[in-house]
């Protein structure tokens, strides 16, 4: 039998200690890759290598997907391990996923596609990019409406709107599998994590 939920840290500890720590942790990949771009610009050794733009787009794409899965996993972990306070980080993780997605797209747009026209052509013609675009578009309203104010204004529709995270995550995985050429290890790991998270939700619906 499950015990009562853990009380967890106080509101003050959450707001003034844990949330800032999580915020900093979520900015680390962006700061790291930003620093690599700076080193590269200065002619210093860096992790970008010869195809700098490719490497940067890949890194930002991977982090977007990791944060998307983390946002979904937080609710599962909160429920299964009876740690409801963990859910308090979900909004922040989700907003970071959107920010990384926009940065991933921005770097692609400027450095890989080289402009809006070429990007539109890619979105229309290259299937792995075609599937990724709606995923990005879905994350934007989720990020924008993530505040308490929007939650109140939208009422029950807020929950409905936020189920967009599921198709967004599925499309992101399809995007990753589709663009992978030889090594499928990473996309398969992410796909398995998403499948497990979706299965847990399905089972809970069938027998709450
Ligand atoms: C929710 C939105 C998105 C997610 C989660 C995502 C995720 C990813 C991931 C995981 C990768 C592969 C990283 C690796 O190889 O290790 C990737 C690569 C890529 N993504 Fe996205 N992506 C998203 C949206 C987009 C959009 C909207 C575009 C462009 C319209 C795009 C363009 C690309 C390109 C061109 C690559 C390949 C870079 C290369 O290897 O040359 N992505 N993305």
- The pair of structure tokens assigned to 104 is 């991933």
- 124: three-class secondary structure by DSSP: helix
Region 180-198 average pLDDT: 96
- Counting beta carbons within 10 angstroms of the beta carbon of residue 93, is it exposed (0 to 12), middle (13 to 18) or buried (19 or more)? buried
**Centroid of ligand 1 to alpha carbon of 205 (angstroms):** 32
Q: How far is the CA of 108 from the centre of ligand 1 (A)?
A: 8
Whole-model pTM: value is 0.95
Q: pLDDT above 90 covers what percent of the chain? A: 94
Instruction: Specify whether the CB–CB gap between 77 and 119 falls below 8 A.
Output: no
Residue 1, pLDDT score: 44
Q: 19-72: per-residue pLDDT in tens?
A: 999 999 999 999 999 999 999 999 999 999 999 999 999 999 999 999 999 999
Is any atom of ligand 1 closer than 6 Å to the C-beta of 169?
no
Structure tokens at 19: 């949330």
Average pLDDT over residues 139-157: 96
Probe residue for ligand 1, chosen from 132, 137, 184 as the CB with the greatest number of ligand atoms within 8 Å: 132
Would you say 109 and 119 are in contact if contact means Cβ atoms under 8 Å apart?
A: yes
Q: How far apart are CA 53 and CA 157, in angstroms?
A: 39
In this prediction, residue 111 carries a pLDDT of 96
| 71's tokens | 């946002």
Looking at every residue in the chain, the average pLDDT score rounds to 95
Of 132, 194, 139, the closest CA to residue 162 belongs to 139
pLDDT value of position 207: 81
Residue 2: pLDDT above 90? no
Tell me what percent of the chain is helix, strand and coil, each rounded to the nearest 5: 80, 0, 20
Using most ligand atoms within 8 A of CB, pick from 57, 61, 105 the residue to mutate for ligand 1.
Answer: 61
Q: Ligand 1 pocket, 123 CB below 6 A?
A: yes
Q: What pLDDT score was predicted for residue 53?
A: 97
Residue whose entry in the numeric block shows the structure tokens 């990753």 = 176
pLDDT of residue 167: 98
Find the 98 Cα to ligand 1 centroid distance in Å: 13
Q: Under a CB-based contact definition with an 8 Å cutoff, are residues 190 and 65 in contact?
A: yes
Is 99's pLDDT higher than 60? yes
pLDDT at residue 7 in the model: 77
Rounded distance, CA 6 to CA 149, Å? 28
- Tell whether ligand 1 has an atom less than 6 A from the beta carbon of residue 103: no
């Amino acid at each position: 039998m499950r015990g009562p939920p853990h009380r967890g840290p106080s509101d003050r500890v959450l707001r003034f200690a844990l949330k800032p720590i999580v915020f900093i942790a979520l900015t680390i990949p962006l700061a790291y890759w930003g620093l690599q771009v700076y080193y590269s610009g200065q002619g210093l050794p860096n992790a970008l290598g010869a195809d700098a733009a490719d490497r940067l787009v890949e890194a930002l794409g991977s982090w977007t997907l990791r944060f998307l899965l983390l946002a979904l996993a937080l609710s599962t972990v909160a429920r299964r391990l009876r740690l409801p306070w963990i859910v308090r980080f979900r909004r922040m993780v989700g907003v970071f996923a959107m920010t990384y997605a926009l940065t991933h797209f921005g770097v692609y747009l400027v450095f890989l596609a080289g402009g809006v026209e070429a990007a539109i052509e890619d979105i229309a013609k290259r299937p792995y990019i075609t599937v990724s675009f709606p995923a990005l578009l879905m994350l934007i309203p989720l990020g924008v409406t993530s505040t308490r104010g929007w939650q109140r204004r939208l009422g029950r529709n807020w929950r409905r709107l936020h189920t967009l995270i599921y198709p967004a995550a599925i499309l992101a995985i399809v995007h990753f599998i589709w663009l992978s050429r030889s090594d499928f290890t990473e996309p398969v790991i992410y796909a398995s994590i998403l499948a497990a998270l979706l299965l847990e939700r399905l089972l809970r619906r069938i027998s709450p």
